[in-house]
Chain A
Amino acid sequence: MNPLITETEHSVLGIEAFDVCVDYNGTVALYDATLKLKTGSICGLVGMNGAGKTTFFKALMGFVRPSRGIIRINGSAVFKAQRDQAVAYVPQNEGIDCSFPVSVWDVVMMGRYGSMNFLRVSRESDRKAVWHALERVELLELRSRPIGSLSGGQRKRAFLARAIAQRASVLLLDEPFSGVDVRTEKLMSELFLQFRKEGRTILISTHDLNHVRDFCDLVVLINKTVLAYGKTSEIFTQENLTMTFGGMPPNALFGPTPSEGFLNE
């Protein structure tokens, strides 16, 4: 049932992008982006506003058509991966109508639709998955509230719960930490670490460089293209970050933190 168990881990890459180029009506947003992500790793996607992080996610999901390049999820084409429920995506802005008459439970249940039959009748296992996902983001008490009555951070958690309920082996999370409180932040990072233990592949974009240091095995620095990519300890250097953020010294980006020495080469 769970695709991540049946995959032969060493041979299949969770996410593979090769020479991907995306333009919006002729304006290039991303070019020659190449990324190979082993299953069972957490990768941070770091770059300035407008660097093309969201565009990269959209390209990986097939929502924008790359003008060039190849994208594979778990070794198969994106559309197949989506149909197999192998990939879950939590966008930066959900862009939904918040007065839509659905409850939090209904929204999380939408994560299960792809695994249900044609009529989308929920089974016991679907309800269990939804319950479990809500439990993991601590939204169980609010499950029968209309989605529009949640706060911004709670809503973010609800959409994360939907992705969890989907039980995908590849998770694409566009700025999951923006606008959530410290408690949720901690809860979410623990969740991601657990996902890694379960062998899932996670790509997270974030503006908080501490998160990258704390739990990302790999990091991708982008500014319209992949500037550097590799193990966090090797890539997350002063020099690389200065380059990524257009000459801004990383000390200013990080602020004074106890683990700052980690950054120096």
Chain B
Amino acid sequence: MNDLLASFAPISWLVEPLSHEFMRRALMVSALVGGVCGLLSCYMTLKGWALMGDAVSHAVMPGVVVAYALGLPFSIGAFVFGVGSVALIGFVKQKSRIKEDTVIGLVFTGFFALGLVLVSKIKSNIDLMHILFGSPLGISYSDVNQTLIISALVVNVLVLFRRDLMLYCFDPTHARSIGINTGILHYMLLSMLSLAAVAGLQTVGIILVVAMLITPGATAYLLTDRFDRMTYLAVLSSAVSSIIGVYISYWSDIETGGSIVLVQTVIFLFAFLFAPRYGILKSQGSIHY
């Protein structure tokens, strides 16, 4: 009976990697991180914060390096620098006449460069490649724990405040006029962004984490007109593509982060082409109709 199952390729393709402890861990962490980033990506795409996501994810780099050098949990360093970059962006924008996207580009490249310099200067066992490209297959227990805590925090905040955050993204003026403190929501969303970026860099690395923070949201946005459904779809597509990405990476021995993001992009392309209402093939059809 077992032989029969084993000879059936797709099943062994799925089951065989599960016999390795590191693969079980990688799959669990990737799916979790995928889900968390997928949930947040809805707010990022609706709020138009793709560039902000890019900025924060790059800006956490020096924080990770400093934290490792000081022997602190990397997530604390990353969080401090993530939020710090956001505060700095806000400050420079307010105090100068430079446009926001320019300020964002300026600040995050500055932080990222600082990170690169620190890595080369601080003698430690940080593997630059792991930070830049992620390494879910080699994730350590302490990193798993940090990721679990971060994920729980982000999911709880996003679920508890989902209506307020949705309203804040949709119509901040109305939110204020019914007495909701939008300043707090703004910083709450930015903090969650920093935390999700920290979680995401575990699996896909700093360079690609922004994909985790926008692609699932963009995909889901093409598939529905309902906010709640959009969040479910984003979480689902993100978690599933993370799992598929890890499997592909295992079997074809390719870089995991790239593989995860590529699967996400392929799912996006499918939605782009075939989405029931907003896919391009659909709208062409209805023009000729």
**A residues with CB within 8 A of B:** 61-63, 79, 82-85, 87-89, 91, 94-97, 100-103, 106, 110-111, 113-114, 118-120, 146, 162, 166
Instruction: Give the residue name and chain of the A residue nearest to B176 (CB).
Output: A63
> Is B163 located at the chain interface by the 8 A CB criterion?
yes
Alpha-carbon separation in the docked complex, A100 to B230 (Å): 11
User: B173 touches which one: A79, A95, A101 (CB < 8 A)?
Assistant: A95
Give the Cβ gap from B110 to chain A, nearest Cβ, in Å: 28
Contacts of B180 in A (CB 8 A): 113-114
User: A101 touches which one: B174, B177, B179, B227 (CB < 8 A)?
Assistant: B227
Alpha-carbon separation in the docked complex, A203 to B258 (Å): 57
9 contacts across the A-B interface (CB closer than 8 A): A61-B177, A85-B179, A89-B173, A94-B173, A100-B170, A101-B227, A113-B178, A114-B179, A146-B225
| Contact present for B46 and A106 (CB under 8 Å) | no
| Contact present for B178 and A114 (CB under 8 Å) | yes
> Is B100 located at the chain interface by the 8 A CB criterion?
no
| Contact present for B160 and A106 (CB under 8 Å) | no
Q: Told that A82-B177, A106-B227, A110-B167 touch, could you supply 15 new A-B pairs with CB distance under 8 A?
A: A62-B176, A63-B176, A82-B176, A84-B179, A89-B173, A96-B170, A97-B170, A100-B169, A100-B170, A100-B227, A101-B227, A101-B229, A103-B226, A114-B178, A114-B179
| Contact present for B167 and A103 (CB under 8 Å) | no
| Contact present for B226 and A101 (CB under 8 Å) | yes
Residues in B221-255 with C-beta less than 8 Å from chain A: 221, 224-227, 229-230
| Contact present for A101 and B160 (CB under 8 Å) | no
Check A162/B176 contact, CB under 8 A, given A101-B227, A101-B230, A103-B226.
no
Q: Which 5 A-B pairs have the closest CB atoms?
A: A83-B179, A114-B178, A120-B163, A82-B179, A146-B225
Number of B interface residues in the complex (CB < 8 A): 24
Contacts of B164 in A (CB 8 A): 113, 120
Contacts of A146 in B (CB 8 A): 225
Instruction: Give the residue name and chain of the B residue nearest to A96 (CB).
Output: B171
Alpha-carbon separation in the docked complex, A162 to B166 (Å): 16
Give the Cβ gap from B85 to chain A, nearest Cβ, in Å: 25
User: B171 touches which one: A84, A88, A110 (CB < 8 A)?
Assistant: A110
Contacts of A101 in B (CB 8 A): 46, 221, 224-227, 229-230
Check A162/B174 contact, CB under 8 A, given A101-B221, A101-B227, A102-B227.
yes
Alpha-carbon separation in the docked complex, A88 to B167 (Å): 16
Alpha-carbon separation in the docked complex, A101 to B169 (Å): 11
1/0 per position for B141-181, CB-CB distance to A under 8 A?
00000000000000000001001101101110110111110
Give the Cβ gap from B226 to chain A, nearest Cβ, in Å: 6
Instruction: Give the residue name and chain of the A residue nearest to B160 (CB).
Output: A119
Most chain B Cβ neighbours within 10 Å, of A84, A88, A97? A97
Alpha-carbon separation in the docked complex, A119 to B171 (Å): 18
Contacts of A162 in B (CB 8 A): 174
| Contact present for B170 and A102 (CB under 8 Å) | yes
| Contact present for A89 and B177 (CB under 8 Å) | yes
Give the Cβ gap from A42 to chain B, nearest Cβ, in Å: 20
| Contact present for B178 and A97 (CB under 8 Å) | no
Most chain A Cβ neighbours within 10 Å, of B170, B176, B229? B170
Give the Cβ gap from A156 to chain B, nearest Cβ, in Å: 14
Contacts of A106 in B (CB 8 A): 227
Alpha-carbon separation in the docked complex, A101 to B166 (Å): 10
Contacts of A82 in B (CB 8 A): 176-179
Alpha-carbon separation in the docked complex, A201 to B190 (Å): 38
Contacts of A97 in B (CB 8 A): 46, 48, 170
| Contact present for B167 and A113 (CB under 8 Å) | yes
Alpha-carbon separation in the docked complex, A61 to B172 (Å): 13
Residues in B72-130 with C-beta less than 8 Å from chain A: none
Check A119/B163 contact, CB under 8 A, given A97-B170, A100-B46, A146-B225.
yes
Contacts of A118 in B (CB 8 A): 160
| Contact present for A91 and B227 (CB under 8 Å) | no
Give the Cβ gap from A177 to chain B, nearest Cβ, in Å: 20
Contacts of A113 in B (CB 8 A): 163-164, 167, 178, 180
Give the Cβ gap from B158 to chain A, nearest Cβ, in Å: 13
Residues in B181-220 with C-beta less than 8 Å from chain A: none
Contacts of B229 in A (CB 8 A): 101
Instruction: Give the residue name and chain of the B residue nearest to A61 (CB).
Output: B177
Alpha-carbon separation in the docked complex, A58 to B267 (Å): 44
Instruction: Give the residue name and chain of the A residue nearest to B220 (CB).
Output: A101
Alpha-carbon separation in the docked complex, A61 to B177 (Å): 7
Give the Cβ gap from B214 to chain A, nearest Cβ, in Å: 16
Most chain B Cβ neighbours within 10 Å, of A83, A91, A102? A102
Give the Cβ gap from A138 to chain B, nearest Cβ, in Å: 22
Give the Cβ gap from B78 to chain A, nearest Cβ, in Å: 30
Alpha-carbon separation in the docked complex, A89 to B174 (Å): 8
Instruction: Give the residue name and chain of the B residue nearest to A84 (CB).
Output: B179
Contacts of B176 in A (CB 8 A): 61-63, 82
Instruction: Give the residue name and chain of the B residue nearest to A121 (CB).
Output: B163
